[in-house]
Amino acid sequence: MAEEKSLNFLEEIIENDLKSGKHASIVTRFPPEPNGYLHLGHAASIVLNFGLSKKYGGYTNLRFDDTNPSTEETEYVESIKNDVHWLGFEWKNELYASDYFEDLYLFAIKLIRLGYAYVDDSDSETIAREKGTPTMPGTNSKFRDRSVEENIELFEAMKAGKFKDGERVLRAKIDMSHINMLMRDPVMYRIKHAHHHRTFDKWCIYPMYDFAHGQSDSLEHITHSICTLEFVPHRELYNWFIEKLDIYLSHQYEFARRNISYTVMSKRKLLQLVNEKYVDGWDDPRMPTISGLRRRGYTPESIRDFCDRAGIAKRENVTELSLLEFCAREDLNKIALRRMVVFDPIKVVLTNYSEENEMVSVEDNPEDVNGGFREVPFSKELYIEQDDFMEVPPKKFFRLFPGGMVRLKGAYIIKCDEVVKDAEGKIIQLNCSFISESKSGNDTSNIKVKGTLHWVSAAHAIPVEVRLYDRLFKVEDPSSAAGDFKDYINENSLEIIPEVYAEPALKNAVTGEHYQFLRKGYFALDKNSSKDKLIFNRTVTLKDTWAKEVKKG
RNA sequence: UGCCCGAUAGUAUAAGGGUAGUACAUCAGAUUUUGGUUCUGAGUGUCUUGGUUCGAAUCCAGGUCGGGCAACCA
């Protein structure tokens, strides 16, 4: 029996539509404008639209909303397609609003003939002024009452390129005193002598969003056209065009966009971060873009899971970043290969160990019962983390200290016998002894230790670079904080450690594979990594209850 | 001072007139050759004032707070 899973408001609407026979199956669409890279907010929409059509039997179209040639580029089209695929979704049709320019033009002619549209010679300032305000009605344009013939003639002249940019617009003739500002004779077409990424120079008039989106939905027989809350007031116009045109009745539904703490989620702001070089590009691992998250080492599974868990509703929200991180850890814990890497080394010399080294076998992933093992070289001289040793340990510290014992992961238990310092008193080496009968998997020593440390053999370690990322902003909601959002950028969001010491197995690291550096976090190979210089991005840290304990003091 | 949308633990989401639940976060404990994972437990919530009702998070009315609406952007 299927478990009782509560429905979100869109699922309820769809189930009702299916039950009532209004629709036999559903069609949704994901309609990005190709003027930027996709981010987590889009991911929510993608998961929603594709998820819904999959769940209820139907399909989803990918439709690029490319009605504004001045901001849109093919580069973005490619990145968007790539990101949607990477997230794990398959669209039924790849479409463009520009595919419908001819249909839309004919729709416009039809509305002119019906007396529902007119050409206006006013400039944009005049049109804005005549629009009135939310509390004051607008006034009619002096060009509002032209004859159908004159309007047709002028509109065709617009199309034929007889006017310069801004000299004429086509407007819907609705009601200049309408309570909804969007119904006060909205602009349907504007003149732009601009090169379009798909139609090239065929058109010099381009439809506005409101005259393109709903009609495109209708032409594709989209049953449920899902968009974000700021389009709620547009719905009335959306319906008006469909009704006057007497075409397929698509319905628009709105949900609240997904915001996430400590980042921004608007293309405009993200573009600013890119252009003003606060980040390394759209796919900087600190960016909330799909490409950034991918580069950072997030998996599509974890992003989908995040969207599902965060849910959808109609109220404004700021979801905590910790939920995203939880989803990443949960997935990565299952799939990441365990490796040992020492970031900030201190040398350990095993005084009673022979000069010869041996290989110890360590599991790739203890969570995976079918997982393999790799051989790790163990020797007389090792590195451990400085943090894992304290000369004067606080209570509850169960790492290494003088006279104390710890296990080296997958190898032996060692005891710290002597702390070696230089002239300045800085600790430079720990002389330890190892318990030969305590070898992992074959431990007859009967010694119980509280701590297990990661380590590398000094002679066998390979140098790699790691990049540690922190939240991009210092405040939870930079967009609504006082002043400019850029004032809140976290200047310490990137820490590069050019050389850390990794176990040799990491030499074979590949992109697309995920690693857990034991006790350090999850890492993935960066795109700028090379054979000679391996670079790893930290996807997310491990949960660290000891760090929390230390912070509490 | 118009119209529209919204309001449930710290956060995000359920409950559709009948026990306010789940997840993340937080705290406590158990297990652990990762202070990871896993497991157990705890605390914290219906914006407000009235009304309808045996019974209201849910229905009604007023208020409060938050957001949106005056681009030839989407």
A345-359 confidence digits (pLDDT tens): 999 999 999 989 999
A28 CA to B48 C1', in Å? 40
Alpha carbon separation from A489 to A37, A120, A278, A322, A471 (Å, rounded): 20, 45, 9, 19, 9
A373 membership: H or E segment, kind and range? strand A373-378
Bases on strand B under 7 Å from any protein CB = 1-8, 10-16, 21, 23-27, 33-38, 66-74
Judged by C1' against the alpha carbon of A133, the nearest nucleotide is B70
Q: What is the CATH number of domain A341-454?
A: 2.40.240.10
Closest amino acid to nucleotide B70 (CA–C1'): A133
Interatomic CA distance for residues A28 and A25, integer angstroms: 10
Residue A237: pLDDT band by 50, 70, 90 thresholds?
very high
A387 CA to B12 C1', in Å? 36
Closest amino acid to nucleotide B14 (CA–C1'): A6
Written as one letter, the residue type at A534 is: L
Judged by C1' against the alpha carbon of A410, the nearest nucleotide is B33
Closest amino acid to nucleotide B15 (CA–C1'): A6
**Beta carbons of A119 and A151 less than 8 angstroms apart:** yes
A111 CA to B28 C1', in Å? 69
Alpha carbon separation from A545 to A298, A319, A390 (Å, rounded): 23, 23, 18
Neighbours of A386 (CB within 10 A): 13
pLDDT on residue A3 = 44
pLDDT on residue A551 = 86
A324 CA to B23 C1', in Å? 12
pLDDT at A456 over 70: yes
A365 CA to B28 C1', in Å? 29
A432-451: per-residue pLDDT in tens?
999 999 999 999 999 999 99
Judged by C1' against the alpha carbon of A338, the nearest nucleotide is B34
Q: Look at residue A160 and give its three-state secondary structure.
A: coil
Poorest-confidence range of A364-368, A381-385, A461-465, A478-482? A478-482
Query: Under the phi-then-psi rule, with left for phi > 0, alpha for psi from -120 to 50, and beta for the rest, what region is A420?
Result: beta
Q: Rounded to 5 degrees, what are φ and ψ at A36? A: 180, 175
pLDDT on residue A238 = 98
Q: What's the rounded mean pLDDT across residues A31-40?
A: 97
pLDDT on residue A207 = 98
A125-171: per-residue pLDDT in tens?
999 999 999 999 999 999 999 999 999 999 999 999 999 999 999 99
Q: Rounded to 5 degrees, what are φ and ψ at A453? A: -110, 155
Closest amino acid to nucleotide B6 (CA–C1'): A315
A184-225: per-residue pLDDT in tens?
999 999 999 999 999 999 999 999 999 999 999 999 999 999
pLDDT on residue A6 = 84
Query: A145-150: which pairs have CB atoms within 8 A and are 24 or more residues apart?
Result: A145/A118, A146/A118, A146/A119, A148/A112, A148/A113, A148/A115, A150/A119
**Beta carbons of A535 and A467 less than 8 angstroms apart:** yes
pLDDT at A273 over 80: yes
pLDDT on residue A4 = 54
Averaged pLDDT of chain A? 96
The catalytic site residues of A sit at 33, 257, 267
Task: Write down the domain spans for chain A.
Answer: 18-255, 267-337+464-552, 341-454
ipTM score over 0.90, yes or no: yes
Nearest to A264 by CA among A254, A279, A249: A279
Interatomic CA distance for residues A321 and A326, integer angstroms: 9
- Please check whether the two domains, A267-337+464-552 and A341-454, share a CATH topology: yes
Question: Exposure string (b/e) for A192-215, b if CB count within 10 Å is 16 or more?
Answer: beeebbbbeeebbbbbbbbbbbbb
pLDDT on residue A5 = 67
Q: Rounded to 5 degrees, what are φ and ψ at A430? A: -120, 125
Q: Which fold has domain A18-255?
A: Rossmann fold (3.40.50)
Residue A267 CA to chain centroid, in angstroms?
12
Q: Look at residue A40 and give its three-state secondary structure.
A: helix
CATH superfamily of A267-337+464-552: Ribosomal Protein L25; Chain P (2.40.240.10)
Task: For residue A175, give the DSSP letter.
Answer: -
pLDDT at A276 over 70: yes
Q: What percent of chain A has pLDDT over 90?
A: 96
A317 CA to B62 C1', in Å? 27
Judged by C1' against the alpha carbon of A408, the nearest nucleotide is B33
pLDDT on residue A219 = 98
Judged by C1' against the alpha carbon of A127, the nearest nucleotide is B72
pLDDT at A280 over 50: yes
